[in-house]
Structure formats: structure tokens, C-alpha cells
Amino acid sequence: MHLYDRHHKTVTPLIDVPNMDVIQDVIVGDRLHLIDLGVMKRLLNGWRDGSLGFETKLSSQQITDISTMLCNIQLPSEVHRKFRGLDFVSFWKGTEFSAFLHYASIVVLKKYLPASAYHHFLLFFCSITLLSSNAYRANWHVARAMLKAFISEFMTLYGKQYITSNLHNLQHIVDEVEVFGPLNTISAYPFENSLQRMKHLIRSGWRSLEQVINRLSEVDSHEYYRTQTSKTFSFPSVKISGNFIKVYLRNGFVLSTSHRNCWFMTNNWQVVKFVNAVESSRIMIYGKIIDKKANFFSDPIESSVLHILAGNISNLSSEDYQFYCDEIKCKVVAVVCGSDYVFIPLLHTFE
């Protein structure tokens, strides 16, 4: 205690909280502010505006081309915000930077960033993806090495003058993930969402705290009544409306025949296009398999380690294959890349 006297102004009551270590149990940065609104936003603004040096600055035509690609990406319905062009980056929310990082960046940047900058970015992309799901836990030690290389090469590529506290704090997040779990479990997103809802409950500046308490009490009463009088939604289930079929596999995971919602990955890492579903004693999923797949990148690790694969939809199997719901691993985001598609797992749907 008090090892650094110059940094102590007074004694905090937090040291009296039972079973709490104010050093080890306080994270250096959450997912929202450190990764999405921190490093990812810094990189994107730097490439767009040249604020990370002019060697990696995108031209106006490249910005237009990337913006067009972003607006054409069909994100699954579970991702609630569509991509906006780079001209609107100043208005992007944290979720947009997160979706860009995980489901668009590696495709839209590949053609336009210099090879050295793109390879450097892949260190960041791969490490953050590994740390974003328990499915990659066995490779968290690889993420540690890649983040270390990312920070080191950042100084060489962009210059020491662009090093910020967010870059420095990246070296600590693997330790925190190993203690507290994947990045989504140490995120401020739930807090920010709840805070936004509470702000909407306030009608004036007079006795605002009382307003929030009263409104939340009313909401709780309504929720209790609703849960007591409504039927519990069961997973999995099939909903049919005319020729449109939806399969709700689990909370936050729906398959349908629309292009943005039809792709999924099996436990054997087969990429499948959803075609139909039949419900009897068990739900049977019908789909066509992508026969030929390849790594989208091979360095710093093979993309297949992240279950990211490239393939051409002209190579879909002619016959329909059958799958039970428990054979489906995750939903997939399909992003156009030239004549091929890049298939990227939707992270929150991993079992």
C-alpha cells in the first residue's frame, strides 16, 4: 500500500471493500473505450485524414471506394446498425467501430492500405478477435504475442509521436481477459445502454433522480406483469410466414432465407447456406455447403484459426444437406470480396 506516495492525495474507501484488490481488480480499459472508440477509431481517422502520417493516408477516391463497399455490406439482423461511409466516421458509434473491426476491415482495407500497414493491422485484428470469444481461449497466448508485436511495430510504422495511452494499455488486456473473461464481459456497452435508457426517462431537469427511480419502478412492475402473463419463447423454434422461413436457434441467433441471414457454420467448420427448415419431433435444417474454401490470409496466423474462410458461392453443393440445430456452431457474416465471399463468424453466436 502507498508504494508510490507522489500519486496519493488521500486514502480511498475502495481499499476497505472485502476481497477487492484496487490494482488487480480494476481494468485499464474496457472494450468500448479502449478498443472500439480508442485504437480502432484512431487508426481509421489516421488513415482517412493523414493524422498518422501521409504514407498511409487514403486518397479521396479510395475513401469513396471504401465507403461504397461498406454501404453494400449486408450485415445480419443481429447487428443493428448498418455501415455508414468514412465521411461519417466522426458520427460513428462504438458498435459501428466494433462491427467494422470484426466484419468489414480485413476485406475493405486489403486493397487500399499499403502492404506493411495492412499486415500490421492484421496483428490487431487477429489478437482482438481471439480475445473476443471463449471459443479461441486456447490461442489467447498467441494474442499476447501479436499485441506485443503490434505495439512495437506501431512505433516503427507511424512514429513514436503517435503512441497514446490506449496503445500502451493494449499490453495489459490479455492479463485481464484471462482473469475476467472475453472482452465482451469487461465492456461498458451494457452500462452505456442502460444509461441511455435512463436518460430517456427524464422529462425535465427538476428532481431528475426521483423521475428515474419512479419510472424504473414502473418499468419493473410492467416487466413482472408481462412475464407472468405471456408465454415463454422457446428455442429452437421455426416461424413460417408465406414462403419466408425463420429459425430461432437461440437468443440472438436467427436464420432465414434472406441473404444476410442465411449463412452459418457447422461444428465441423463447414460453411452452409440455409435453404429450408422442417419441424417435427426435432427441427431439421436444410442447406447447401460451400465445397471449396481457402484461407483469406495466412500471416500473422492462418485465417482458418479464426474460422474465417474465403469461397465462391458458385461452388455451392447441388444437393441439400441436413443438419440438426445442435450441429450448428455459429452464424456467419458473408462479405463480398471481388468474385469471392469472405465468411466471418458472428462472434456472439459462438456456443
Report pLDDT digits (tens) over 283-298. 999 999 998 899 999 9
Boundary (domain end) residue, out of 151, 186, 221? 186
- Please, which residues bridge with residue 272 across strands? 264, 289
Same domain, 257 and 149: no
Per-residue model confidence (pLDDT) at position 224: 63
In a domain? residue 227: no
Residue pair 123/147 in contact (Cβ under 8 Å)? The answer is yes
Same domain, 155 and 278: no
- Mean pLDDT taken over the chain: 91
* DSSP codes of every residue in 136-196: GGGGHHHHHHHHHHHHHHHHHHH-GGG--HHHHHGGGHHHHHHHH-SGGGG-SHHHHHHHH
In a domain? residue 5: no
Question: Which CA distances in Å does 139 have to 165, 274, 297?
Answer: 25, 30, 17
Same domain, 153 and 253: no
**Distance from the first to the final alpha carbon of the chain:** 42
| Arithmetic mean of pLDDT, 233-251 | 83
Report pLDDT digits (tens) over 125-171. 999 999 999 999 999 999 999 999 999 999 999 998 899 999 999 99
Same domain, 174 and 71: yes
Q: Is 311 exposed, middle or buried (0-12, 13-18, 19+ CB in 10 A)?
A: buried
Same domain, 158 and 304: no
The percentage of residues in the chain with a pLDDT greater than 70, rounded to a whole number, is 96
Same domain, 143 and 273: no
Alpha-carbon Rg for the chain, nearest whole angstrom, is 23
Q: What is the number of residues in the chain?
A: 351
Residue pair 105/73 in contact (Cβ under 8 Å)? The answer is no
* DSSP codes of every residue in 90-116: GG--HHHHHHHHHHTHHHHTTTTS-HH
Give the structural domain span for 295: 237-349
Helix (H) and strand (E) counts in the chain: 10, 11
Checking if the pLDDT of 351 tops 70, the result is no
Boundary (domain end) residue, out of 149, 165, 186? 186
ω into 18 cis (within 30 of 0): no
Same domain, 42 and 164: yes
In a domain? residue 145: yes
Same domain, 133 and 243: no
Checking if the pLDDT of 222 tops 90, the result is no
ω into 300 cis (within 30 of 0): yes
In a domain? residue 212: no
Which grid coordinates are listed for 193?
445502454
In a domain? residue 26: no
Same domain, 276 and 176: no
**Predicted structure pTM score:** 0.90
Checking if the pLDDT of 230 tops 60, the result is no
Report pLDDT digits (tens) over 318-341. 999 999 999 999 999 999 998 899
Q: How far apart are CA 301 and CA 7, in angstroms?
A: 41
User: 3 or 26: whose pLDDT is higher?
Assistant: 26
**Residue whose C-alpha is closest to residue 215's, from 204, 228, 229, 226:** 204
Report pLDDT digits (tens) over 29-66. 789 999 999 999 999 999 999 999 889 999 999 999 99
Same domain, 253 and 113: no
User: 9 or 42: whose pLDDT is higher?
Assistant: 42
Q: How far apart are CA 48 and CA 266, in angstroms?
A: 38
**116-123, long-range: CB < 8 A, 24+ apart:** 116/157, 117/47, 117/55, 117/56, 117/157, 119/299, 119/300, 120/150, 120/153, 120/154, 120/157, 121/43, 122/297, 122/299, 122/300, 123/147, 123/149, 123/150, 123/153, 123/300
Same domain, 40 and 102: yes
Residue pair 170/184 in contact (Cβ under 8 Å)? The answer is no
Per-residue model confidence (pLDDT) at position 244: 83
In a domain? residue 110: yes
What is the number of domains present in the chain?
A: 2
**Strand ranges of the sheet holding 328-337, from the earlier edge strand across to the other edge:** 293-295, 309-311, 340-345, 328-337, 263-266, 271-279, 283-289, 321-324
Same domain, 106 and 174: yes
At residue 267 the predicted structure's pLDDT band, cuts being 50, 70 and 90, is: very high
In a domain? residue 203: no
Report pLDDT digits (tens) over 77-117. 999 899 999 999 999 999 999 999 999 999 999 999 999 99
In a domain? residue 231: no
